[in-house]
Amino acid sequence: MTTTQTLLTPASDPTPVVVNMLPELSGPQWVTRFPGSNRTSDLNSSFRQSAEDFIVALRAAGANVRISATYRPRERAYLMHYCVKISKGLIAPDKVPKMSGVEIEWDHGDGRASKNAAAEMARGYTIVHPPALISRHTERAAIDMTITGIIGKTMLDASAQAVEVTDNTVLYRIGASYGCHKLIPDPPHWSDNGT
């Protein structure tokens, strides 16, 4: 097979060529796109420092820390949010707002086909509860981590004071001293403001 390469913007006329891309129809192929991260390097700079310092202190005290999630792209949240809404008939496919950088066409030109494609996406994401559009994770300001083996140990807070972690509320205080605030109903979730 031979391939041909063509300059879209000829050197003789430097005016940029505009290429109109047709949006891609919704469907399960979108599920693997815009993946989330579990790296602290994907957090915003101020919260990254807080989270990394807290984790270093936890590990130094003998805790086991496993990070599940840090940054979740807004694009992924958008896809998850609207595929559920369309599949449940809560919004018409042609009424879904566009999102820059996500060239998806929700409307298949047929109501049932649009709903089925959205439902396949929802199944692919294994969604049970309605996903939110914006969160501290989309703002690079939250971390989900499993912390075990810290109760009963002594660790340093952000002012280098040794504190015995007698229970989780003590751990929450220590986390807050580093700028990692706890959200109570979600055990793995810490963020820059506790939401």
State the Cα–Cα distance between residues 35 and 70, nearest whole angstrom: 11
Q: Does 105 bind another protein (CB under 8 A)?
A: no
- Positions in 137-176 near another protein (CB under 8 A): 137-138, 144-148, 151, 168-173, 176
Q: Work out which of 128, 159, 160, 162 binds another protein, going by CB under 8 A.
A: 128
By CB under 8 A, name the one of 23, 62, 111, 130 that touches another protein.
Answer: 130
189 binds another protein (CB under 8 A): yes
User: Which is it for the CA torsion 183, 186, 191, 193, positive or negative?
Assistant: negative
Q: How far is the CB of 65 from another protein (least distance, A)?
A: 11
Question: Closer to another protein at the Cβ: 99 or 183?
Answer: 183
| Shortest distance, position 91 Cβ to another protein, whole Å | 15
- The yes or no reply on residue 125 touching another protein (CB under 8 A) is yes
Residue 26 or residue 138: which is nearer to another protein going by CB? 138
Binding test (CB under 8 A) with another protein, winner from 58, 77, 86, 102: 77
For tokens 């199944």, the residue is 123
> 3-state secondary structure string, 62-119?
CCEEEEEECCCCHHHHHHHHHHHHHHCCCCCHHHCCCECCECEECCCCCHHHHHHHHH
The rounded Cα 54 to chain-centroid distance in angstroms is 21
Among 56, 90, 92, 132, binds another protein (CB under 8 A): 132
Maximum Cα interatomic distance, the chain, rounded to a whole number of Å: 74
